[in-house]
């Protein structure tokens, strides 16, 4: 298996996952605007460190699941329900809630790094997402679960996350007034993405019946 290809698979999946405006990329952009690019990058490095760990855990979990098809069937149905609930939340419920602004007061570069670590740690959604994606890629024959392949994929995921955060840091001041950065648009984009994943999951469940 070509490790360069696997690396770019991880990079592309991570890029897609971080494109919608969310807590991590918007925080990185705001820190950059208020305190300079260096602190925004330190925050992003902290985020990517946890993404690397989370993706590795997801890949190991996926490797276990690949040897237990009966568990995959159960988790696939659970994942479908979860993604449907998330879709409903972001499309119909979240838009009614008032957005609260939290202005962090931490100033040092090291503190920004650990803030990135903390905020990324409490965002556990990447683990089931990456586990599901990894199993799907393996089913297409694009990825195997050897140590080299896993490390390549995980490295790509970490780099993809950093690239997208970097884009937000250096271009947010140009798009900050655009509609895409609004809370309503953010919720809509996330809802659409999880809705698509729900449909794909449902199709796979139906095929296996």
For residue range 153-204, what is the model confidence (pLDDT) as tens digits?
999 999 999 998 988 888 776 655 554 445 566 667 667 777 777 787 777 7
pLDDT in tens, 37-50: 888 899 999 999 99
Query: What's the number of domains the chain is made of?
Result: 1
Q: Which two tokens stand for residue 190?
A: 């996330």
pLDDT in tens, 77-122: 777 787 788 778 777 776 555 444 444 444 555 688 898 899 888 8
Question: In the predicted model, what is the mean pLDDT of residues 17-36?
Answer: 80
Is the pLDDT assigned to residue 12 strictly greater than 60?
Answer: yes
Question: In the predicted model, what is the mean pLDDT of residues 1-24?
Answer: 82
- pLDDT score for 130: 85
- pLDDT score for 184: 64
CA distance 35 to 117: 18
What are the helix and strand counts (H, E) for the chain? 8, 0
Is residue 109 within 8 A of residue 38, CB to CB? The reply is: yes
Q: Nearest CA to 181 among 166, 171, 196?
A: 171
Q: How many CB atoms lie within 10 A of CB 98?
A: 5
Give CA separation, 204 vs 141, 182, 195, in Å. Answer: 16, 34, 14
CA distance 50 to 120: 6
Q: Which two tokens stand for residue 48?
A: 């990517």
- DSSP assigned state of 94: G
Is residue 183 within 8 A of residue 55, CB to CB? The reply is: no
Question: In the predicted model, what is the mean pLDDT of residues 34-38?
Answer: 85
- Which residues constitute the domain of residue 154? 3-208
Is residue 149 within 8 A of residue 78, CB to CB? The reply is: no
CA distance 73 to 96: 35
pLDDT in tens, 46-63: 999 999 999 999 899 888
């Amino acid at each position: 298996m070509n490790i360069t290809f696997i690396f770019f698979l991880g990079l592309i999946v991570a890029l897609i996952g971080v494109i919608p405006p969310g807590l991590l990329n918007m925080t990185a952009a705001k820190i950059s605007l208020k305190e300079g690019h260096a602190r925004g990058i330190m925050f992003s490095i902290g985020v990517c460190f946890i993404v690397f760990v989370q993706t590795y855990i997801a890949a190991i979990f996926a490797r276990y699941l690949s040897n237990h098809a009966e568990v995959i069937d159960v988790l696939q149905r659970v994942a479908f329900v979860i993604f449907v609930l998330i879709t409903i939340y972001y499309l119909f419920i979240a838009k009614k809630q008032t957005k609260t602004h939290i202005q962090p007061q931490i100033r040092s570069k090291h503190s920004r790094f650990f803030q990135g670590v903390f905020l990324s740690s409490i965002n556990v959604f990447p683990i089931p997402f990456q586990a599901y994606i990894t199993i799907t890629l393996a089913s297409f024959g694009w990825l195997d679960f050897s140590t080299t392949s896993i490390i390549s994929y995980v490295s790509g995921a970490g780099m993809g996350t950093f690239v997208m955060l970097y884009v937000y840091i250096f271009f947010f001041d140009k798009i900050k007034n655009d509609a895409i950065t609004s809370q309503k648009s953010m919720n809509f984009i996330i809802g659409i993405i999880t809705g698509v994943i729900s449909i794909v999951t449902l199709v796979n469940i139906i095929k296996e019946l």
